[in-house]
Amino acid sequence: MGGELVLVTGGSGFLGAHCILALLKAGYRVRTTVRAARREADVIAMLKAGGGEPGDRLSFAIADLMSDAGWPDAVAGCDYVLHVASPFPPGVPKHQDDLIIPAREGALRVLRAARDADVKRVVLTSSFAAIGYGKMPPGGRSFTEESWTDPTAKVSAYVKSKTLAERAAWDFIAAEGGKLELAVVNPVGIFGPVLGSDHSTSTEFVQRMMNGAMPGLPHLSFGVVDARDVADLHVRAMTNPAASGERFLAVAGDFMTVREIAQTVKTRLGAAASRVTTRELPDWLVRVVGLFNAEAAQLVTELGKVKNATNAKAVRMLGWAPRSREDALAATAESLVRLGLVKTPK
């Protein structure tokens, strides 16, 4: 195993860095793409924060999802590719195509380059967003990998972009993938140890809670999973023969309400979480705010919906064993305090 080379796209991102750490720990050599050479130092700093010393087992390639340039060099000589990079803006794009086109075209660029370079398998990071929006599963059961989001339903640009990008990837493999294999990981909200100031939308949510920037909580629920476990699932899906052609939900347990998340952070962090509120906002108020605030507007269609998803397939087929939701949330909050990213209460 020691000699195999894996390309990780988007190594300067929260999940990308955790994937690099998991691969280095498992003995792989890693190449990662960054959009500009100046980001290389950021990646090294994040890996160090995560306890990794890459030494000469990590190399870099410059490539951008919006351009063909650089991708043939990035995949050259690689055995596997983890395509983790994808646009996920904190705000709302002016036009949905600003998200959809880079997500879909980026996935196809990576798959095309991987096929041409005789890569064995690509593991694509999709999302629960490509599974759990549109129709609820029959009988109110949990969402599974059989479920697909309906992109024609009233869904956000992000949800639509993830759905269309994953569909395009499967269509590409079926029509022109050649010998290239594809596996897909569909995570819910990704939490866990933050490795630097560049982190995910989910961890930013905990940061805002701890900084007292959320005076009240919307009546929403979502899934929780630790980035370290999502990275582990990518590595398992990369090498397990049975994973080819399959998608895997990455979720640590039942979905939690925003209030349960806040309560967990308060309980586990004590004084450091004294600014976290557990007060719920009435739905009508969130709807009113949504008329003036594009981010709040994205939440309105999900208010009060109770969803769930199961990790049974990943556990059964790949032996995946994620840490608890509470541990994932506590790890997020503790790392934010450690990195000085939350104001310490007076």
d(CA 80, CA 31): 10
Q: Is the pLDDT of residue 90 over 60?
A: no
Average model confidence (pLDDT) for the chain? 91
CA angle 192, 122, 110 (to 5 degrees): 100
Cα dihedral value 148, 175, 96, 209, nearest 10: 50
Q: What is the DSSP string of 272-330?
A: GGTT---PBPPHHHHHHHHHH-HHHHHHHTTTT----B--HHHHHHH---PPPHHHHHH
3-state secondary structure (DSSP) of residue 73: helix
- Residue 95 burial (CB < 10 Å; 0-12/13-18/19+)? exposed
* pLDDT recorded at residue 141: 80
* pLDDT recorded at residue 74: 97
Q: Is the pLDDT of residue 194 over 80?
A: yes
Domains of the chain (ranges, CATH numbers): 5-199+224-254+308-325 (3.40.50.720)
Q: Are 103 and 86 in contact (CB under 8 A)?
A: yes
pLDDT for 175-186, tens place per residue? 999 999 999 999
Nearest to 140 by CA among 317, 251, 306, 254: 306
* pLDDT recorded at residue 188: 96
pTM of the predicted protein model: 0.94
d(CA 336, CA 218): 22
Q: Taking residues 17-25, what's their average pLDDT? A: 97
CA-only gyration radius of the chain, Å: 19
* pLDDT recorded at residue 92: 65
Q: Is the pLDDT of residue 293 over 90?
A: no
* pLDDT recorded at residue 88: 56
* pLDDT recorded at residue 280: 93
Tokens of 114: 């991987």
The confidence band for 25, taking pLDDT boundaries of 50, 70 and 90, is: very high
**80 bridge partner residues:** 6, 121
The confidence band for 1, taking pLDDT boundaries of 50, 70 and 90, is: very low
Q: Taking residues 178-205, what's their average pLDDT? A: 92
d(CA 150, CA 117): 33
Exposure letters 48-69 (e unless 16+ CB within 10 A, then b):
ebbebebeebbebbebbbeeee
Nearest to 226 by CA among 75, 143, 100, 328: 328
**Which of 82-91, 303-312, 313-322 is predicted least confidently?**
82-91
* pLDDT recorded at residue 170: 98
d(CA 130, CA 107): 14
Q: Is the pLDDT of residue 84 over 70?
A: yes
The confidence band for 147, taking pLDDT boundaries of 50, 70 and 90, is: very high
* Portion of the chain with pLDDT greater than 70, in percent: 97
Exposure letters 150-179 (e unless 16+ CB within 10 A, then b):
ebeeebbbbbbbbbbbbbbbbebbeeebee
Catalytic residues: 162
